[in-house]
Chains A and B, each alone.
Chain A
Amino acid sequence: MSLASRLARIVAVIRKDMLYSSPGLILIFAVLVPLIATLVISAVVDSPVLGEPRLGLFDQGASQLPERLAERGHLTITHYEQQDALRDAVLRGDHEVGAVLPEGLDEALAEDEEPTITFYIWGESLESQREIVITSIEREARIVAGQELPIEVTILQPERQEIPPWEERLFPLVVIMVIVYGGMLIPATVLVKEKQAETLMALTATPMSLAQLLVAKGLAGMIITIVMGVVLLGINDAFGPQPALLIGVIILSALLAAEMGLVLGLFISDVVTLYAVIEAIGILLLAPALFYLFPQLPDWIARLFPSYYMLAPIIEMSLHDAVWADISGDVAVLGGLIVAITILGVWLARRMGPRG
């Protein structure tokens, strides 16, 4: 049998799996879930829930309050020329609080006249965000009024610089989902479904060998994983300093995931059992992402999980600008795991029939 005819058979089975063998599952777990998760994370990180409180200001005079608030640096301040424009912006949710500073505010404060500041409050804002804004204005107003503050607040953030922002902590979870669900679950599911429907018997009664069939199943998962991996890196602008190497590492991770999926598929004979197993071991597969989510946890524990070696090189290159020298050790372990799972897979396939 020529190489071309073998490739043609593999392509035919991949095409069949992509088009017909549970596209719903592929769409949901390997594509939709990671995409939605990425978009949700981006939206949440950029939203007022986790960002700085936003203050809209309309100053009818020339108060020093806006400048003093800006110097504090913990508010996002926008200035308006019209009171109506400020009110409309707050109504739209552009700011948690809009403040109208009356003409002669600073003088009135200095003379202890208790001037009125009008606040517009966005109804859907968090109370904590509103309190930060209003307390900050009240504090600066006291200073302008020449009052002594009863306490001096100094904010210290221990080890602040060692804890990465939320989007960086959540990104590994999305990446491992793509690898596990795309790379592993798709080959396992399509193989088990073929066994359950006994179509595997029909396929292996053709000149296509079981080995070629397993390659086709594995490639279906790998293609989805690689494409989704590149898409996610694109969305997050996280190709790192060596994009080609990064894609190479993604291919290796997808290969290991696909092999693990095929081994599962060879062991298990029905889809219900497969999903039960995936549910049971899912937390172990996703566990390395939890160590990025909670960086306080010791790194050495994450290294006990095989899926760590699928995830870590990708994350280090994409988020922390790691280069080959930084990840070569983990990639070597990844290669070792690929060899070990290949040997296990070949042994299992040979047990299934004379054509492994």
Chain B
Amino acid sequence: MSPHGNPEVPASSAGDVESSAAKVPAGPAGPASADSGSTSSVSTSSTSPTPDRSVWPLWEVFVRSSRGLSHVHAGSLHAPDAAMALRNARDLYTRRNEGVSIWVVPADAIAASDPDAKGSFFESPQGKDYRHATYYTKSEGVKHL
């Protein structure tokens, strides 16, 4: 089973609720439990002596709508830890039968391309039509192409 307690695992599993994320307090750690084995990569700044208690970290949600298709970004949400993020995602993004599988990823863990670097990053392939199969003419006598 996934380390974060998969809500897709049916019924009976609630008896053995995954507790791997349970040690992460709802909200950033208090002084008594300043990190008791948090597995979450989104730690709310352990350097700060008085962490912001009011904010849950942000998670990005990916939903797979049926077998054979890939996960698609559906949106984001706040949750205290991965296990709750999965459940919140289930409640927020699969209320109308949208999914058969959910991924949640700490928003911090996603590295994004620089929106200002659009030119150097994405314009180079333009005009290079030889990178497309349609550029080439079919060789004579080749079957099944």
Binding partners A and B:
no
Could you tell me which A residues sit within 8 Å of B by CB distance? Answer: none
